[in-house]
Structure 1
Amino acid sequence: MTTTEPQPGRTVAEVVTDTVAALDGQRGALLPILHAIQETLGCVPREAVPVLAERLNLSRADVHGVISFYHDFRSEPAGRTTVKICRAEACQAVGSSRLVDHVRDRYGMELGETRSDGALTVDQVFCLGNCALGPTVQVGERLHGRVDAAKLTTLIDSALAS
């Protein structure tokens, strides 16, 4: 499991500096660097922004703008179980909004939130590539099609229990 704590003896700044050094030669290096940092730390912590800005000769606003624009980046680690609900047009047409309402009603969570116990994060995505079987949900790394409220409850409760 990834965490915001860097490897023992390494600060966030050191992780960011090493990641930039490894990937800075790429054209448009900010996105791959952000992905690598999130893979290592479980998120892109706020304290990484000024280090990235300095190392890449960008403004802090530029770095923050990219992090906040892309839904995949988070400033806090995700829960142990992540649920992604597709909100693209095909899934919307067959009821993904009802799934969002169900998560709000049953689990008391809004999209983008992580439960206070760190067990669950619920996010929206705008296509999981399973349009013919919508509404589609991804729980952890597993994709599920034709999901209704009952199936979503089963998927989430099962993931939380394991």
Structure 2
Amino acid sequence: MEKLAVRSKSTLAKIFGTILSILGALIVVLYKGPTVLSDSNPLQSPATHSPVSLSSQTNWILGGSLLVAEYLLVPVTYILQGILVTCFCFVVCAWGLRLKGPVYVSIFKPGSIVIAATLSVIFLGDALYLGTIVGAVILSLGFYAVIWGKAKEEELREEFGEG
């Protein structure tokens, strides 16, 4: 539960930051805008550019075999990656919490939006739209405003000896 002292800068920053974060998320979801960056993945190019020409029946057998291998191996990799990545993220977050506290750890959350958008352009060949960039910037500014407000409240609480 949050205490609302409407005249304090920290409360106003938290309210304003919350509104900005919601607005940024809505922009990311609802507004596409013009394409800023598009990177086509060479793995997604049509098969007509392939130097190897196989007969139709061989293509069906090869394609079916690859689909079977994918359906068997992908779940295993998801499970292994989930375990390793989850453990790694937990260790890093716990270390950051112990070292600097919760405000420090949460500051890096909006960075995940930038990383996800960048990796989707690089590895998946997705296009990066203006709406995604604008929404992510607004969402990040709102998030940082909320974090700044929380940090200021903690400083005031420590200054006045409240615990």
TM-score for both structures, normalised by structure 1: 0.22
Normalized per residue, which structure has more strand?
1
Query: Which has the higher relative contact order, 1 or 2, with Cα contacts under 8 A spaced 6 or more apart?
Result: 2
TM-score for both structures, normalised by structure 2: 0.22
